[in-house]
Amino acid sequence: MHFTINGTLYQVEVDNRVSLLDLLREHLALTGSKKGCDHGQCGACTILINGRRINSCLSLAVMHQDDDITTIEGLGSPEDLHPLQAAFVSHDGYQCGYCTPGQICSAVGMLDELKKGWPSHVSPSLRDVDLNDDEISERMSGNICRCSAYPNIVDAIRDVAAAQA
């Protein structure tokens, strides 16, 4: 099979049962994406496919050979952090860090959804959407943090959203 991940083309031989998450972690040594539940319930495996956030544990690799896949490794590097990575560091948006790659990929996708004007469950009106802390929490509810770093995660995302606006 062939994949385009973080702009690099990979050719690998894998079973058609392999999830995108296992492809990344077990076959390509891209271990930034984490496995929390393997059933779509925690968000630790969140990556971006064609710019949209999805759960890589509930995706078959074989179905995504022609997509543009971005993982936490593709967002920034230790020398050149993505603004969300930098904000998570400066706000202490984690304790153990296990959920963090998923949180950051999810936040990238979420801010893009917001730019497109997508409403959420807590939006009072479906027409105009503002970003506030309730909106951030609702839109990020697919990412569970076992350490409960939520307040600092919200702070980090709020900062980056404000800088982008």
Partner 1 sequence: MKSFVYEKATSPQDAVRFVGNGAKFIAGGTNLLDLMKLQIETPETLVDISRLNLDRIEDTDAGGLLIGALVPNSDLAADARVRERYEVLSRALLAGASGQLRNKATTGGNLLQRTRCYYFYDTAMACNKRVPGSGCSAIGGYTRILAVLGTSAACIATHPGDMPVAMRALDATIVTLKADGDRRRISIHDFYRLPGDTPHIETGLEPGELITHVELPPPPPGRQLYRKVRDRASYAFALVSVAGVVSVENGIIASACLAFGGLGPMPWRDTSVEALLLGHAPSDALFAQAADALLASAKGQGANDFKIPLTKRTLIASLRELTA
Ligand X SMILES: Cc1cc2nc3c(=O)[nH]c(=O)nc-3n(C[C@H](O)[C@H](O)[C@H](O)COP(=O)(O)OP(=O)(O)OC[C@H]3O[C@@H](n4cnc5c(N)ncnc54)[C@H](O)[C@@H]3O)c2cc1C
Q: For residue 1, what are its two tokens?
A: 């099979």
Contacts (Cβ under 8 Å, ≥6 apart) of 139: 110, 113, 114, 120
Tell me which residues touch ligand FES (CB under 6 A). Answer: 35-38, 40-45, 55, 57, 94-100, 145-147, 149
Please choose, out of 10-18, 74-82, 88-96, 147-155, the segment that lies near partner 1 by the rule CB under 8 A: 10-18
- The candidate with the shortest Cα–Cα distance to 75, out of 52, 48, 50, 112, is 48
Residue whose pair of structure tokens reads 């079973």 in the numeric block: 15
Given ligand FES, ligand X, partner 1, none, residue 37, with its beta carbon under 5 to 8 Å by kind, binds ligand FES
Q: Does 2 bind partner 1 (CB under 8 A)?
A: no
Site for ligand X, residues 29 to 58, rule: CB under 6 A: 40-41
Instruction: Identify which of residues 19 and 85 has a Cβ nearer to partner 1 in the complex.
Output: 19
Q: For residue 76, what are its two tokens?
A: 């920034």
Q: How far is the CB of 40 from ligand X (least distance, A)?
A: 3
Query: 85-121: buried (b, 16+ CB within 10 Å) or exposed (e) per residue?
Result: bebbeebebbeeebbbbbbbbbbbbbbeebeeeeebe
Given partner 1, ligand FES, ligand X, none, residue 121, with its beta carbon under 5 to 8 Å by kind, binds partner 1
Q: Does 113 bind partner 1 (CB under 8 A)?
A: yes
Residue 5 to residues 12, 23, 75, 113, 134, Cα–Cα distance (Å)? 12, 11, 11, 21, 33
Query: Which residues would be at the binding site for partner 1 (CB under 8 A)?
Result: 15-17, 19, 38-40, 43, 46, 52-55, 58-60, 62-63, 106, 109-110, 113, 116-121, 123, 126-127, 137-143
